[in-house]
Structure 1
């Protein structure tokens, strides 16, 4: 850590406090920085007391950067006491005299709670969960599996998040959430977020924030909430290297490399990952039963082979003690070859076969430039300017061949994606009890779909619009109560009136209230309104004719969806942790996939703003440490009701959705542990149908070597089920259809990782000049 700069920053604050104090008070300023003894990360929220016998002379909580400042009387012998929920009580003795006006304790390290040391071995001696006013925070660095797990694996441990057996992620049961990296959207997640997260090692992740009620400073999109992944940043000169490799049978190998280097004012971090995949053949079956007694049956198989590659990097440079620049970027490419064969049988035709050779392709990338300005008089005052460019391109390219029917062979392609430029200004001013966040953002988003049928038929669809945002948030703390309220203006404008859309103005409020009863218990209430904009794949009019009986296309007339969320929460975090969330969600124009038919053999699949959707949700996460064994339960039960118009008829569907997971972490020795997990995902409801339920199981073992620098991991997933069949059933008055997709379910994963590094933690003397170094992380800290 850069002790010099932190001490200089503390000197400034000390001077301000000292010279503004009453001249008759004879006090010494006591200062220091609290850090975790294992990770060297700053520790926030530590209660620091100055005691004289049983009398408390002064008391303060450490800041988000671990800083504490206290006034201590001169010529006294006092005791210092440091207390925090996740750490043991630390005590120090201190004597003051008339010679010094301030005392600098430097870095004060805190260790894990001694009364839980043996029982908490599996969780790295620290509870990884922290309740916040607008969500929860999961500290990845306090989890013992951080050295070997991917971020996707780690998400399975985070409350309110469900990762099903197909690596699909949901937040409180909803898939319409947004994934962020360091508080900002990333193009990495515009394709398949599960694959991107599987390629990111959790070794480089500091925390995962689950923001169930996003404050107004975040973009308006993401009705289901936000998952914010915060990466580690080195606080001291040196380097860290991580090399990991794994093989997932029967799919293929994965390799990753990560490094963080810091020297003086310059810091560089790089992550590179590649994943090769060769899937076994999947079985695909479909049936259509019309009321006219015409039936269609299809039986086929398909196979994918290809690779995914990802690159992320960030360069951070401190211009001086108050100004800093950062440049970050990411790139991801998925390239596969697909072969498919489908045999079609229907009542009025002879059997025929459809052969499909495809080359699906997805490429995304972004570049982000930030400038942050700090202020000498207030270390918690920031002004941030940023520019970001994002792009995403997806290609569907198919060669189609038919046997048994007099149809000409053909080919089709659709290249679709978006380009986005955004400029953003953020201002934050935080005092001891008050938080003010203000800002604005402009986004120019250009979406495009270029599709071809054969060599002579080419069409293009464009959907361009601009987004203007202004926001204001005010937070306040008094005693055990915390409040945060905000408003975001979101104007979606169409400068060229593309697609005959009208400008759309939304005023989106957010409100959060939290009451803390002690260091363990808290209750909260939140309300927010957010929107979901349709993406280009849902809007492109490209007609996919790969399966002549199932024609799919987008809908250019889709409108954004506006949703309202109300949540009540209760949390208790200690050796036993309990987090509960009761929610209500409502929207009156939800986007639904719609099945229609105009003939006795053809199904049209598209998207519509159909109507109302309501859900009542109960989420619970319970964790308990029993005789060194950590038990965790995560579950959700939702009642969902939907209704919408279909061909002048009102359709309704309602029922229950559920998912649950249970994990058991068993430390056999200090360097050898095993994990058992069970995940169940219940049926998913649609307006016209539902899917089936399924269960996933896993057992894994981790062994560490070389002073825990090297980890070896082996996992057996779904040992009792070789295959899994995904079923979707849809029914309307004219017909019903069922699809079956059977794929390999049993996998064996073998992984190994090695990490090493060097740091310089030598103490430096305070230089006689004015500096402020509390501005080096590009993270705007929330009130709680």
Structure 2
């Protein structure tokens, strides 16, 4: 009896197990698949977060999508669910699923996410990544940097990977000072010569992001040896209306204020940004000593200077669009910057002969006033076809960049020199007209093409007037022997073609750009006019291969060529002899420079951190070099010449980690080895250069954060010079109030030292020079930033104009939770 009972119980348990297994087999999970895309560009969003919830929004499971945006997730059984996709910098989606009818697999199709928009139904807990890596470019999001609200743009540029800013605020991209600067994808004359002045005065809060494009595709102009820096100023695309007001001041005496607003009436959308202010550079000093091997009388010299400056600046931008219908869009934009500065200084100069006996001594008092600016406008019409993303765009833009200087200097001799006073005025300007047409067609899911044509007319002029003081009459008298003027026109006609092939994890891009250049100019001086004309035809190739490995890893390889067409600032023959012992002028006979560039890259992206490594090699045969020559009279004369052979190998790296708003850190830098030589001058220079930055932010208390930054740079060389190692530090605090609408920030630059010393050495077979510049760098910056608004409207743009590269890579990294 006992045995029968045990046997019965075992059979019952076994049957129960069979029944349970049968029920489990009869109710398997349901596989849900789909793909996540950007709603505006149609691009696949890499590594999205996809989650499935009960109909009461209780989380069941979350997975990470692939590099192509595709995902697979399992629902436990039939029923009603909520499917949500999310990505850093995008709004969350919310789709209701009804799984029934005994299905085993369900295709959710395409899920589109809108960038930067918050929906009422879903709470977005993600923030944009500080750094976003793509195959062709790197994007630094200022909206994710807590220091943005209290800093000038120059302070933010120090943090951007592949960029470096030295002690004189000179920016380098991949170690090069020659690069193309775009504002919202369009050329800006201001940011060619006056880039240093503009970034010191421009509040970082007016900028949305900075794109660094080291290997630009064929659709971009081939100008800019180092690559392209694209500054995106249009802050938000929103619905209803929104805006911001900001104000700031610093302990040096500078201040700024401005605002942004976006609104829409019917099909008309408008977005505008405006700011103005003042920047101050306190008294700085410069020490210079040199040895002139060609002169016995002026073998040794020494000069000491003190100077200071103040600048006022104003900026305004506007972005407007009118949606004629669902397939036709008209876009209008404008951008303008106007600045002026006044600087005063005194230089004491003394020279000695070979026996160290004084041979010359004088002082030079200088007052310099300058006005500079840029104004640009564009209009674009886009025709969109019924096929998704196929479009044709026509656009016209105009850019004007005046640069006027007014310099008065008085030389007071003490020994073996003449007394004189001189007043020099130079009015230079450049006007650029651009007409272009662009066409983009996604032929299939694997094949994409784009093509376009473009014509640019650049009109550059430089007019000067020089007067000297007649000491007998006390009147200013014209001195025509000092006149050096230039009228210069440049015509550029170009066309491009690009092709992209995508298959699984491989993306192959190729293209070409043909450019025909005609230069026509007249150099005018007291000795007569000199006409010059030259023509050039260039075919610029572009190849980029990208392969996505597993777990967010990818590798890239690219080859391209870049051109450096000298602008008015290099060509202008105007002689600046404000300092009679240091004279400089441009060279109207400069030729276009061609550089070959090869890049290998690796990037790793995850939901919290990003790593980017790239190795770049490039070479140039006729590089433009600034050449200094010292005569027997001790006078240093500087100009530009095509005499350099430049070869450069550079390793770039960047790493960023972000844990929501609680903590973030970044580390970036580069090291390179360069060789520069000139057979004509018999000179060779080589050496290692490096730059890097480390910084981060931490939320130490409720709605408050602390941020810190440190930078190091040095070793950059030219044919005749070398720069030593320098460093900079900063830290700041920010606090949010009133439901995060108001932000108060404090940012301290150079907290550990009041002044910084920057050293510069230069030499060749005729001279040796050592310079030291000491400038006041410590400052505390205070700012208030107020956000307002309720909803926003998209300020739609003609997406396939000069402002967009549709065949570039997609976004990366991020977390979001419904």
Q: Under a length normalisation based on structure 1, what TM-score does the superposition of the two structures give? A: 0.83
5 Å-filtered alignment, 1:207-218, equals 207-218=209-220
5 Å-filtered alignment, 1:650-661, equals 650-661=682-693
Deviations 1:495-542 (A, max 9, x none): 679843321001000111101013511010011101011121211111
- 1:727 Cα deviation after fit: 2.2
Cα separation, 2, equivalents of 1:42 and 1:704: 35
Pair 1:712–1:427, CA change in 2 (3 A): same
- 1:153 Cα deviation after fit: 4.1
1:534 aligns with 2:546: no
1:489 aligns with 2:491: no
Cα separation, 2, equivalents of 1:254 and 1:503: 45
Deviations 1:347-403 (A, max 9, x none): 264421111121122122111111111112x12011111111111111222112121
Cα separation, 2, equivalents of 1:436 and 1:615: 33
- 1:624 Cα deviation after fit: 3.4
5 Å-filtered alignment, 1:459-498, equals 459-494=484-519
Task: Describe the SS at the equivalent of 1:346.
Answer: strand
Counterpart for residue 675 of structure 2: 641
- 1:640 Cα deviation after fit: 0.5
Give the alignment partner of residue 384 of structure 2, picking from 356, 374, 391: 374
Pair 1:670–1:238, CA change in 2 (3 A): same
Point out the more displaced range, 555-564 or 329-338: 329-338
Pair 1:103–1:126, CA change in 2 (3 A): closer
- 1:167 Cα deviation after fit: 3.7
Cα separation, 2, equivalents of 1:529 and 1:776: 26
Counterpart for residue 428 of structure 1: 440
Point out the more displaced range, 707-716 or 344-353: 344-353
5 Å-filtered alignment, 1:237-316, equals 237-291=239-293, 292-293=295-296, 294-316=299-321
Counterpart for residue 404 of structure 2: 395
- 1:422 Cα deviation after fit: 1.1
Give the alignment partner of residue 386 of structure 1, picking from 364, 382, 395: 395
- 1:344 Cα deviation after fit: 1.4
Pair 1:43–1:234, CA change in 2 (3 A): farther
Counterpart for residue 629 of structure 1: 663
Give the alignment partner of residue 721 of structure 2, picking from 689, 693, 696: 689
5 Å-filtered alignment, 1:323-362, equals 323-347=328-352, 349-362=359-372
Pair 1:407–1:531, CA change in 2 (3 A): same
Given that 1:148 and 1:711 are in contact with CA atoms closer than 8 Å, whether structure 2 keeps it comes out as no
Counterpart for residue 191 of structure 2: 189
Pair 1:412–1:709, CA change in 2 (3 A): same
- 1:313 Cα deviation after fit: 1.4
Given that 2:188 and 2:374 are in contact with CA atoms closer than 8 Å, whether structure 1 keeps it comes out as no
5 Å-filtered alignment, 1:203-242, equals 205-232=207-234, 235-242=237-244
Cα separation, 2, equivalents of 1:333 and 1:687: 34
Given that 1:79 and 1:91 are in contact with CA atoms closer than 8 Å, whether structure 2 keeps it comes out as no
- 1:580 Cα deviation after fit: 0.5
- 1:484 Cα deviation after fit: 0.8
Cα separation, 1, equivalents of 2:274 and 2:338: 12
Counterpart for residue 10 of structure 1: none
Cα separation, 2, equivalents of 1:499 and 1:591: 22
1:701 aligns with 2:733: yes
Pair 1:633–1:672, CA change in 2 (3 A): same
Point out the more displaced range, 671-680 or 487-496: 487-496
Cα separation, 2, equivalents of 1:198 and 1:221: 24
Cα separation, 2, equivalents of 1:665 and 1:79: 38
Given that 2:520 and 2:534 are in contact with CA atoms closer than 8 Å, whether structure 1 keeps it comes out as no
The higher relative CO (CA closer than 8 Å, separation ≥ 6) is in 2
Point out the more displaced range, 416-425 or 621-630: 621-630
Deviations 1:603-634 (A, max 9, x none): 11111111210011011112235894322211
Task: Describe the SS at the equivalent of 1:503.
Answer: strand
5 Å-filtered alignment, 1:608-619, equals 608-619=641-652
Cα separation, 1, equivalents of 2:115 and 2:391: 29
Give the alignment partner of residue 97 of structure 2, picking from 94, 100, 104: 94
Given that 1:589 and 1:609 are in contact with CA atoms closer than 8 Å, whether structure 2 keeps it comes out as yes
5 Å-filtered alignment, 1:168-183, equals 168-183=170-185
Q: Under a length normalisation based on structure 2, what TM-score does the superposition of the two structures give? A: 0.80
5 Å-filtered alignment, 1:44-193, equals 44-45=45-46, 86=88, 94-95=97-98, 125-144=127-146, 151-193=153-195
Given that 2:241 and 2:792 are in contact with CA atoms closer than 8 Å, whether structure 1 keeps it comes out as no
Cα separation, 1, equivalents of 2:664 and 2:451: 42
Task: Describe the SS at the equivalent of 2:570.
Answer: helix
1:439 aligns with 2:448: no
- 1:96 Cα deviation after fit: 6.8
Pair 1:198–1:97, CA change in 2 (3 A): farther
Q: Larger Cα Rg: Structure 1 or Structure 2?
A: 2
- Long gaps (5+) in structure 2: 1-31, 53-63, 73-77, 102-106, 118-123, 353-357, 468-477, 523-529, 810-818
Question: Alignment RMSD, CA only?
Answer: 3.9
Cα separation, 1, equivalents of 2:115 and 2:595: 43
Given that 2:140 and 2:211 are in contact with CA atoms closer than 8 Å, whether structure 1 keeps it comes out as yes
- 1:411 Cα deviation after fit: 1.5
Cα separation, 1, equivalents of 2:613 and 2:34: 40
Counterpart for residue 672 of structure 1: 704
1:729 aligns with 2:761: yes
Counterpart for residue 424 of structure 2: 412
Given that 2:140 and 2:210 are in contact with CA atoms closer than 8 Å, whether structure 1 keeps it comes out as yes
Deviations 1:331-359 (A, max 9, x none): 21221122121111112644211111211
Cα separation, 2, equivalents of 1:704 and 1:655: 47
- Long gaps (5+) in structure 1: 1-27, 52-58, 71-75, 113-119, 763-772
- 1:467 Cα deviation after fit: 0.2
Cα separation, 1, equivalents of 2:640 and 2:772: 21
- Aligned pairs, number: 720
1:756 aligns with 2:788: yes
- 1:157 Cα deviation after fit: 3.9
- 1:43 Cα deviation after fit: 9.0
Deviations 1:12-48 (A, max 9, x none): xxxxxxxxxxxxxxxx999998789xxxx99944769
Pair 1:532–1:776, CA change in 2 (3 A): closer
Deviations 1:468-504 (A, max 9, x none): 0100000111000011111000110136798433210
Pair 1:432–1:208, CA change in 2 (3 A): farther
